[in-house]
Structure 1
């Protein structure tokens, strides 16, 4: 592999900065308000969006609520085990949540039914179906795809304060489109969209999530190795270019 990397190639034939083939299928879960299945090479992630009503967070009485959960299905990878969420699934959910929340993807102030009392609660559930590397990008793309095609059930408030669900749906109030771009460092090379084998060889991993305006809304580094300042600057340039390409190809009509 090291000889290939030195020549600018990878085991699967890609260049160092190339993504695997990305496929996005929307509306794959009939009973969800929104859903998407993303395939990134052999990595497959399903996201479902459910929307219910509930009480707002005490410190955000005039905003809706967002909850992101991730589940690693045991059949996706030999080391995934059934049971409560482990640190890997919690970390993935946190990264997806941060990209959505910090970019203000959803206008949460428009998800209020009764200020301080009842709001919409958006549940984003991430399911890892097949793990061959770069779960963050696949999960992030599936989450934003599911949010973009989600339908918000309409509720009306009667004069007596009773909340009635109508037989009517409208799109979620979406105002941004965050795209995560993950890179790893192997020796002195930066690789985009690492496979599982490449992640296992890497000394460090960096995910940069960017808004539709090219602003960084989330950044996460993992691994025992380090990126130099010059490498981080270069990684930001790569992430801007790649996120723009993905947005243009898959989300042009929305953002």
Structure 2
């Protein structure tokens, strides 16, 4: 083993020991409380050629989401609804641990968890994105790119996706002579609610929200819970460890409370006001 690698292992061991000592005193290694999220910044319309876009910084994790609206055939069994597809990638420059190439299992999971939170909340009224029932519908592609990875990419990517959807404008298309024609006009995305995910990890007996990368390196279990204005809409258990029933109940309540806080900020920043 090289001296540099041995030194790195020693530093990581000491850092984890320091983290556990801090957690034992009721604080995290960066000074946050267990239920305290890192600073959240949201910037809209960062990709001028997209139908909608947003850049989110959650601590030092940074994600950009862009929306492209086109037309296509509906999914089988959903002939009366438009299509929504969320994809994700972690750029090789986002972390020294990311290798170039096809997405690995963690990136696939990232896209699926974000997609599930938006889809299960029914954030977008897909029934309003149909041109010819059973034949031609709007297809909304949400492409997310992680620019910097410093923990909790689930929430950072979800917030970027939600913000991009809230700010999106879709082209008004019409059928003329059996062809899809762009009228040149746009309308807001048909949004019904604002889903917010809150990811929490267990380290020992402590459960904390919005884990930084160091905390993810020491976590025993992970859970992501999404809520909208009406209640819970999605849940994803991740990693190998488990939670007690009481920990899950507390995590659910924390997700509800913190979700309301983030949702209020999201609505304010995107100027979204849900219609009654």
Do they superpose with TM above 0.5? yes
- CA shift digits 1:180-221 (9 cap, x unpaired): 0001111111111000100110100111011122x2211111
Provide the rounded CA distance (Å) in 1 between the counterparts of 2:182 and 2:117: 30
> Take 2:213 and 2:63, find their aligned partners in 1: how far apart are those partners?
15
Q: Does 1:53 align with 2:80?
A: no
Whichever of the two has the greater Rg, that structure is 2
Secondary structure, counterpart of 1:181 in structure 2: strand
Structure 2: segments with no counterpart, 5+ residues: 1-18
Alpha-carbon distance between aligned partners in 2 of 1:154 and 1:89, rounded to the nearest angstrom: 33
State whether structure 2 residue 26 is matched by structure 1 residue 23.
no
1:87-143: CA deviation from partner (whole Å, max 9, x where unpaired): 111111100110111110100010001111111000011101101100000000000
- What's the CA shift string for 1:58-114, capped at 9, x where partnerless? 211111011111111000011212222221111111001101111101000100011
- Give the corresponding residue for 2:263: 247
Report what 1:34 is aligned to.
52
Aligned to 1:221: 237
- Taking the aligned partners of 1:223 and 1:89, their CA distance within structure 2 comes to 13
Aligned twin of 1:13 = 31
* Structure-to-structure mapping, 1:118-137, within 5 angstroms: 118-137=136-155
C-alpha separation between the residues in 1 aligned to 2:63 and 2:202? 24
* C-alpha distance after superposition, 1:4-55 (max 9, x if no partner): 1122211211111100000000000111100000001110011111100111
1:2 and 1:82 map into 2 onto residues whose CA distance is 33
Q: CA RMSD in A?
A: 1.1
Match of 1:164 among 176, 181, 185: 181
Q: Secondary structure at the match of 1:81?
A: coil
Q: What residue number does 1:201 align with?
A: 218
SS of match in other structure, 1:250:
helix
Is the helix fraction higher in 1 or 2? 2
**How far 1:162 moved relative to its partner?**
2.6
Runs of 5+ consecutive residues of structure 1 not aligned to the other structure:
none
Q: Equivalents in 2 of 1:163, 1:230: separation in Å? A: 54
- Name which of structure 1's ranges 218-227 and 36-45 shifts more when overlaid on structure 2: 218-227
Aligned residues: 253
CA distance in 2, matches of 1:9, 1:162: 61
TM-score (norm 1): 0.96
Alignment match, 1:152: 170
Corresponding residue to 1:180 among 186, 197, 212: 197
Separation in structure 2 between the aligned mates of residue 206 and residue 179 of structure 1, nearest angstrom:
14
Q: 1:56 deviation in Å?
A: 1.0
- Deviation, structure 1 residue 174: 0.4
Q: Which of 68, 88, 97 in structure 2 is aligned with 1:70?
A: 88
2:127 match: 109
Q: What are the Cα deviations for residues 147-191 of structure 1, in whole angstroms up to 9, with x where unaligned?
A: 000110011123x33321111111010001110000111111111
